[in-house]
Structure 1
């Protein structure tokens, strides 16, 4: 592992966290475009898309601050096995909060949703999504793991992230890129998720966790041995300083882990 993860805490989500998150994402975008001309991102659902929209849909302040959506490829860090227009669908949420809000006529990202054909067979759904990743990330040579430029995640009150849940056997998977989950403790029970090695392998990983409801689990993740074994804690320990947490002050109140003031 590299050094410890970066923990940022902001007084306000709209006025401080969102602009700092934008700077961080645009910096990763620009580096990725310099590397290989495309920005490959995996995103999760929950409250993340709304915060992302606040960050990314604001007007650019300079040439370096431009969000070049036309060069983005968006994948899902996890998805529920429901139709794409279902209220539980992460794709529906990301589409409504972010993609549909991009101004008309502006370039839009290429998005890779699940294939609804396989809704009744979770393992087949996971296999097909993995095949999609192989076609994008391993088209020219075989690779052990796909290398996302950035993975954007949330943190559940139980310390889960993607659809990787505490103490679940899926956390021990080392070979598969995409996992099938049939017994999620949160409904709906059937989901697919990127595996822990894929998440840890990304160039950069950012968590967005806000509100006092996250305080107890963040304290656990950052300050206890037990918390380091929760899925979010495993991402921290496996990816080190490639990980940045974007939190508001209520989420980190009373946490002694050193925090940074700003990306900007």
Structure 2
């Protein structure tokens, strides 16, 4: 695990963009494609700012969701809807709707999760567990990541690639989420956080090693990066500064 502490949010976005650009370059060079998982929340703001500045062949990208809310695309809670607005419709980057692997519309969470897993399997036809090139993860104020919440039974899910959740403690309640076997099989996982409101949770995860969902992100044979600004990392004992 690499903890990278930078001066402010702008530097967090710059470093995040640098890692995305380099990971995409390597993946496209090796296999002619880049398979990346997006999360929502503040990450969407970071990507809307950072992605237009990177050098990459966006036509080689396929974008999945680390989790998605079971709501229509035009609902404000839709993660795809957010990226459609900020990245596609805005013209910020040359990505198309069909490059995003989206959940089924108008079905319950369990049906949406099974259908989503089947879509993902089309991109990893021979895999026991998919190996994404990069997962861009978020961390909530309770330490959740994807839609894996503290104390929830989904933390122990071992067989499904994507699972439904209908009792999310954070609205909306119905979601589809990536599970730990998939998260921890990724080639690269990245958390990016900025602001003093993140500091206490960062300490609990990185210093205290408290058993929280974000703490359980430990790629088996990949790299894990935490990119945080000075405010978010104010309680860290050991710092890797750039």
Q: Given the two structures, how large is their TM-score scaled by the length of structure 2?
A: 0.94
Q: Match of 1:63? A: none
Distance across 2 between alignment mates of 1:32 and 1:55 = 19
Q: Structure 2: 5+ residue runs without aligned partners?
A: none
Q: Which has the higher helix share?
A: 1
Report Cα offsets for 1:65-90 as digits up to 9, x if no partner. x1221110001110011001100111
**Aligned residue in 2 for 1:151:** 135
Aligned residue pairs, count: 241
Shift of residue 108 of structure 1? 4.1
1:115 aligns with 2:115: no
Distance 1:248 1:100 in 2: 30
Is 1:230 aligned with 2:212? Answer: yes
- Closer, same or farther: CA 220–137 of 1 in aligned 2, 3 Å: same
Q: Is the Cα contact below 8 Å between 1:6 and 1:241 reproduced in 2?
A: no
**Structure 1: stretches of 5+ with no match in the other structure:** 61-65
Alpha-carbon separation, structure 2, partners of 1:112 and 1:153: 17
| Displacement after TM superposition at 1:13 (Å) | 1.7
Q: Which residue of 2 aligns with 1:8?
A: 4
Report the alpha carbon displacement of residue 95 of structure 1 after superposing the two structures with TM.
1.5
Offset of residue 255 of structure 1: 1.0
Task: Give the TM-score, by structure 1 length.
Answer: 0.86
**93-102 or 66-75: which moved more?**
93-102
Q: What does residue 192 of structure 2 align with?
A: 208
RMSD (Å) for aligned C-alpha atoms: 1.7
Kindly report structure 1 stretches of 4+ aligned residues shifted beyond 6 Å. none
Give distance in 1, aligned partners of 2:227 and 2:116: 28
Shift of 1:161: 0.4
* Alignment match, 1:38: 33
CA contact (8 A) 1:6 1:260 kept: no
Q: Which residue of structure 1 aligns with residue 75 of structure 2? A: 86
Question: Could you say which residue in structure 2 is the equivalent of 1:161?
Answer: 145
| Match 1:99 to one of 88, 102, 113 | 88
SS at match of 2:163: strand
User: What's the counterpart of residue 44 of structure 2?
Assistant: 49
Secondary structure, aligned partner of 1:202: coil
Secondary structure of the 1:116 match is coil
Measured after TM superposition, the shift of residue 12 of structure 1 is 2.1
Partner of 2:237: 256
Q: Does the 8 A contact of 2:87 with 2:95 survive in 1? A: no
| The 10-residue stretch of structure 1 (89-98 or 75-84) with the greater mean CA deviation from structure 2 | 89-98
* Residue 235 to residue 107, structure 1, CA distance change in 2 (3 Å): closer
1:220 to 183, 186, 204: 204
- How far residue 50 of structure 1 moved from its aligned partner, in angstroms, is 0.9
Contact 1:153 1:206 in 2 (8 A): yes
Instruction: Identify which of 115, 118, 137 aligns with 1:128.
Output: 115
What SS is found at the alignment partner of 1:93?
helix
Equivalent residues of 1:212, 1:250 under 8 A apart: yes
* Displacement after TM superposition at 1:107 (Å): 5.6
Partner residue, 1:196? 180
Shift of 1:99: 2.7
Deviates more, 1:241-250 or 1:85-94: 241-250
Question: Partners of 1:50 and 1:133 in 2: how far apart?
Answer: 25
